[in-house]
């Protein structure tokens, strides 16, 4: 029941965000729309931002699960991007609100967790040091989050094209196209 209540609150918040400015949505309004008490809301969440964060974490878990079903790395990235832009209109509203900074932090945290899950699952025998792995995860987290957030407002966003571009970046194909030798060391 607790998970169902959390999901209901989160779904209602994103439904409201699809229609209204984020600043007009209060905890009071959200509990009225959900038909629950404030006590029930605060049992599950601290505030509206906490609801957004939980919703984002759930989306990243779904993205991870769907990307693990993919047969190729390119399909895995496409599944991730499709899930990441699933609530595009709501996220666009949040990006143009007072919550934009919080949303960016929430997205970075969720993408970072996703990338760690992917790394642990796909490369269990990696010989990369922990420090190098953390730097790589931080780099890709910032880049992927920036690309996703930067592309939300595009009306003609093609998730397949964006996923393909990210795949080519991660696989080194763009690096090679720029003319870098395959094993260049400075």
CB 111 within 8 A of CB 59: no
pTM, two decimals, is: 0.73
**Residues with Cβ within 8 Å of residue 45, at least 6 apart in sequence:** 6, 9, 51, 54
Q: What is the pLDDT of residues 127-184, one digit of tens each?
A: 989 999 999 999 999 998 888 888 877 778 888 888 888 888 888 777 777 787 766 4
- Please check whether residue 30 lies inside any domain of the structure: no
Query: What's the pLDDT at 185?
Result: 53
User: Can you give the CATH number for the domain in which 81 is found?
Assistant: 1.10.357.10
> Tokens 């029930």 sit at which residue?
40
Query: What's the pLDDT at 66?
Result: 84
Q: How many CB atoms lie within 10 A of CB 122?
A: 12
> What is the domain range of residue 141?
49-176
- Please check whether residue 169 lies inside any domain of the structure: yes
Query: What's the pLDDT at 160?
Result: 86
Q: What is the pLDDT of residues 11-41, one digit of tens each?
A: 999 899 888 888 889 999 999 999 999 999 9
pLDDT: which is higher, 61 or 8 = 8
- Please check whether residue 79 lies inside any domain of the structure: yes
**Number of domains comprising the chain:** 1
- Please check whether residue 15 lies inside any domain of the structure: no
- Please check whether residue 80 lies inside any domain of the structure: yes
- Please check whether residue 11 lies inside any domain of the structure: no
Q: What is the pLDDT of residues 69-122, one digit of tens each?
A: 888 878 888 888 888 777 777 777 777 788 888 888 888 988 898 888 888 887
């Amino acid at each position: 029941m607790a998970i169902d209540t959390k999901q209901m609150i989160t779904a209602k918040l994103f439904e409201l965000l699809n229609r209204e400015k984020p600043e007009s949505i209060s905890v009071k309004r959200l509990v009225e729309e959900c038909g629950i008490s404030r006590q029930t809301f605060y049992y599950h969440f601290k505030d509206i931002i906490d609801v957004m964060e939980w919703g984002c974490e759930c989306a990243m878990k779904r993205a991870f699960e769907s990307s693990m079903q993919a047969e190729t790395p390119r399909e895995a990235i496409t599944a991730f991007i499709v899930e990441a832009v699933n609530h595009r209109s709501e996220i666009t509203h949040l990006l143009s609100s007072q919550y934009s900074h919080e949303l960016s932090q929430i997205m970075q945290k969720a993408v970072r967790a996703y990338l760690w899950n992917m790394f642990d699952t796909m490369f269990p025998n990696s010989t990369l040091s922990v420090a190098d792995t953390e730097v790589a995860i931080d780099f890709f987290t910032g880049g992927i989050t920036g690309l996703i957030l930067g592309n939300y407002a595009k009306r003609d966003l093609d998730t397949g094209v964006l996923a393909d571009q990210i795949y080519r970046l991660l696989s080194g194909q763009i690096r090679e196209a720029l003319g870098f030798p395959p094993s260049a060391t400075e």
